Amino acid sequence: MLNAFTLILCCQLAGELIVTASGLPIPGPVCGMALMFTGLIVRGGVPDNLGMASDALLSNLSLLFIPAGVGVMLHLQLMSNEALPITVALVLSTLITIAVTAAMMQWLGRRTGQGEDKGRGDA
């Protein structure tokens, strides 16, 4: 399992290096996740040890939010000064995420043929 955690961290590091070197406007971990996703597609699946390591991380995901919560509490005054832009950004990003997810589900449903009514007889 140590090899799997090392692979996850190396993908994150590679993403950080690519973003820093190229100046891309995306977070390094997102770029690293794309690298890992591409590698898993090329490989044709998720290795068992990587699956177990990611399951362990996901089962303890709530612990990873503690530093963010501490940061919010530490900078509560700053966040209250910027409440309107933060609220607008959160609402817009949520709506965009819902719209993109819905569009992707419709596209994938049509592509796989699951979006069609097959002989239901609905009027």
Let me know if 11 is exposed, middle or buried by CB neighbors in 10 A (0-12, 13-18, 19+): buried
pLDDT recorded at residue 71: 87
Let me know if 16 is exposed, middle or buried by CB neighbors in 10 A (0-12, 13-18, 19+): middle
Between 105 and 122, the more confident residue is: 105
Q: Model confidence at 65, in pLDDT bands (50, 70, 90)?
A: confident
What does the DSSP assignment read for 98-122?
Answer: HHHHHHHHHHHHHHHTTTS--S---
pLDDT recorded at residue 115: 54
User: 45: phi > 0 → left, psi -120 to 50 → alpha, else beta; which?
Assistant: left
pLDDT at 122 over 90: no
Residue pLDDT, tens place only, 66-100: 988 898 889 889 888 999 999 999 999 999 999 99
pLDDT at 118 over 60: no
Long-range CB pairs of 62-70, under 8 A, 24+ apart, other chains included = none
On average, the pLDDT of the chain sits at: 90
Percent of the chain with pLDDT over 70: 92
Question: Rounded to two decimals, what is the model's pTM?
Answer: 0.59
Q: Model confidence at 40, in pLDDT bands (50, 70, 90)?
A: very high
